[in-house]
Amino acid sequence: MNLIEDLDFHQIDFHIHTAESPSRGAIALDEVIQTASKKGLRCIGLTDHWKPETDPLIFSEERELIERANTELKIFLSAEVSPLNIQGDTAVDPKVHRDILEKMDYLSAGPHQHEETLSKGKAEIIARSHTMLMNILKDDLFGYVLHPWVTVISDLFSRGHIQLPSFEEIPEKYLDEFVEAAAFYKKGIEIYSPVVEVPVEGYDWFVKKLLKAGVKIGVGSDTHQKEDNERGISKTTQAAVRLIKSFGGDRSSLWLPEDGWT
């Protein structure tokens, strides 16, 4: 049995950044590999941010570094791409960036809210965020979705719209529509370990819905290698793995990339 066929949740982390804003010629892949190996991981996904100001050539450099790396660790090359509006438009142009995209295994949507949305009231922030998430799920550009709804709840809390971070603030209809669409469009959904550790109320309920619907899932720590090293911290996916296991989730629910971004 090969490595991919034998993987389980405790052996993966599909949300790792080499740095908050990596620069060409200074990508510390060796440090990422060393840290992942110490955690007992066998497969990781690199998800450096792809923003309008990002030099896409960093992803070509990362592919070269991966191919030269002396490691048994399986490394998938992805990017965290945040939509620029509720329509789901991004900085990635499949025609302009085709050569870059062909070097990547898949793209990860990293939904974050924008000032146009955050300037609204609570109900409209939630409704606009739901529209954005549904557009992400319909987009063939993405294979995987990072921390869905998590940033919405965080922003609602930080702006004083809710007293405590909780998934119970999101209408169940929206959560159900998200889960149904994720299953229909066969998107991988991240179980975001930092939220399990806090914890955010109701997140377990959302995870249970995903598993019940047969949605394929992964786990992520949101490690930022350079910054985490400087702060002397080490993020793990253990909390997310425990939550999945508590609901009877097993490797049959594990999402894995298939044939690249196309």
Residue pLDDT tens, the chain, 262 long: 466 778 999 999 999 999 999 989 889 899 999 999 999 999 999 999 999 999 999 999 999 999 999 999 999 999 999 999 999 999 999 999 999 999 999 999 999 998 888 899 999 999 999 999 999 999 999 999 999 999 999 999 999 999 999 999 999 999 999 999 999 999 999 999 999 999 899 999 999 999 999 999 999 999 999 999 999 999 999 999 999 999 999 999 999 997 444 4
The 10 Å Cβ neighbour count of residue 231 is: 9
Q: How far apart are CA 200 and CA 90, in angstroms?
A: 28
Residues in contact with 216: Cβ distance below 8 Å, sequence separation at least 6, in sequence order = 186, 187, 188, 189, 253, 254, 255, 256
**Residues 151 and 112 sit within 8 Å (Cβ to Cβ):** yes
- Entry pTM: 0.95
The 10 Å Cβ neighbour count of residue 116 is: 10
Q: What pLDDT shows up at residue 230? A: 92
Phi, psi of 117 (to 5 degrees): -80, -45
Q: How far apart are CA 88 and CA 157, in angstroms?
A: 23
**Residues 39 and 74 sit within 8 Å (Cβ to Cβ):** no
Q: How far apart are CA 155 and CA 165, in angstroms?
A: 9
Q: What pLDDT shows up at residue 124? A: 97
Q: How far apart are CA 234 and CA 213, in angstroms?
A: 32
Q: Which domains does the chain have, with CATH numbers?
A: 9-253 (3.20.20.140)
DSSP designation for 5? G
Q: How far apart are CA 61 and CA 67, in angstroms?
A: 10
Q: How far apart are CA 135 and CA 28, in angstroms?
A: 34
Return the H-helix or E-strand segment holding 195.
helix 193-197
Q: How far apart are CA 71 and CA 229, in angstroms?
A: 21
Strands 74-77 and 108-109: unpaired
DSSP designation for 168? G
Q: What pLDDT shows up at residue 23? A: 87
**Residues 153 and 118 sit within 8 Å (Cβ to Cβ):** no
Sort 73 into a burial class: Cβ within 10 Å, 0-12 / 13-18 / 19+. middle
